[in-house]
Amino acid sequence: MGGTIAILVLYALLPESYRFSRAMILLGSAWAIASLVGYRYLFSYLGWKKFNTGTTNDKRFLIFGSLQEAERVSNLLRNTTLAPCFIGIITPEKVSHAAVIGDISQIEEIISIYDINEVIFCALDIPSAKIIDLMGQLRHKEVDYKIAPPESLSIIGSNSINTSGDIYILNINSITLKKNKRKKRFFDVISSLILILILPVAIIFNPNVFKLLRNIFFVLIGKRTWIGLNPNGTMDVKTYNLREGVLYATDFIGIKDYTFDLIDKANEAYCRNFKLSKEIQIFIKLFGSLGR
C-alpha cells in the first residue's frame, strides 16, 4: 500500500508526457494485494503454521492418563501462556473424581461432546503402542496429539519474563490429521505432474516405462501414493487408512534385510511425525525406484 501511494505521488510530479496509465498502477496494486492474501490462505489451508490466518485462543484439551499424572499435566498447562478454556481428564479405568469426565472407552464421544481440539497422552501411564492405536482409532477426529513425558523428563521453562513457565511436550504430527493428508495429496499430485513434464529424464532413471506411467496414473487418480507404509510388518497398516505406496517408509533406511520389528518401528515413526520435507527427501533419494 505504501509503495502504491509513493508511485502515485511520483506520478503526479512527472510531466504529462512521461505519465502512464493510472489504471495500470491501481490494477497492479490490487493484483499484488489479492495474490498475497490468496497465497496466505492457500498455505494456511495446507496447514503451514507460518501462514496461519488467525490465532486460536480457545483451545480445549483432553488429558489421558492416571489421575495423579493427568492433574500434574493439567496444572502445568494452566501455568503456560496458552490460557486453555477447557481441560478434561480421562483415565484408563473408571475413576470417581470431580476432575475426571470419563474413561478411555468413552474417548470418541468425549471429544465430540466437549469439542476437544488437542489430546495429550501421559507417557508415564500409557505405552507407546497404545498411543499409536488410539491415534489410529481417532483418525476421523480433527484433533492434535501431544505426549507429556514423565515428570523426571519434563522440560519446564519460560520464553518470556512475563510468563511463569511453559511446558514443552513432544508434538505428534500424525499422518491421520486432515491437514497432513491434504499436504500428502498435494505433493502426490504436483510431483506426478512434474514427472509427466520431465518424463524423458525420469525414464533414464526408471527404464521400465510401463510401470512408471502406471504408477503416475494411479497416484494422480488417488488409487496409490508415492510414499506409503511397508505392509510386511506385524502392525495393521489399514489402521491408518492410507493408500498403497509405490515406495515405503522403510526404503529410506537403506537396509536390505528388514526384521518385522524394524519395519514396524519405521512405519510408526513415519505415521507419528509426518513431515512434507521428509516426503520430498524420500521421493528424491529413491527417484530411480518410482517405476517398480
**What's the pLDDT at 155?**
34
* pLDDT per residue of the chain (292 residues) written in tens, 0 to 9: 555 555 555 655 556 665 556 666 566 666 766 776 666 666 665 555 455 554 445 688 899 988 888 888 888 777 665 667 889 999 988 888 888 898 888 888 999 888 898 888 888 888 888 888 888 888 788 788 888 877 544 433 333 333 444 444 555 667 777 788 888 899 999 999 999 999 888 899 988 899 999 999 999 998 999 998 888 877 776 767 788 889 887 877 665 666 777 888 888 778 877 888 888 888 988 898 898 8
Element (H, E) at 234: none
Exposure string over 86-118, b if 16+ CB within 10 A, otherwise e: ebbbbbeeeeeeeebbbeeeebeebbeeeebbb
Query: So what's the pLDDT on residue 161?
Result: 36
Mention the CATH class of domain 60-172: alpha beta
Phi, psi of 148 (to 5 degrees): -95, 115
Q: What is the DSSP string of 70-126?
A: HHHHHHHHHTSTT--SEEEEEESS----TTEEEEGGGHHHHHHHTT--EEEEETTTS
State residue 255's pLDDT score: 59
d(CA 118, CA 138): 12
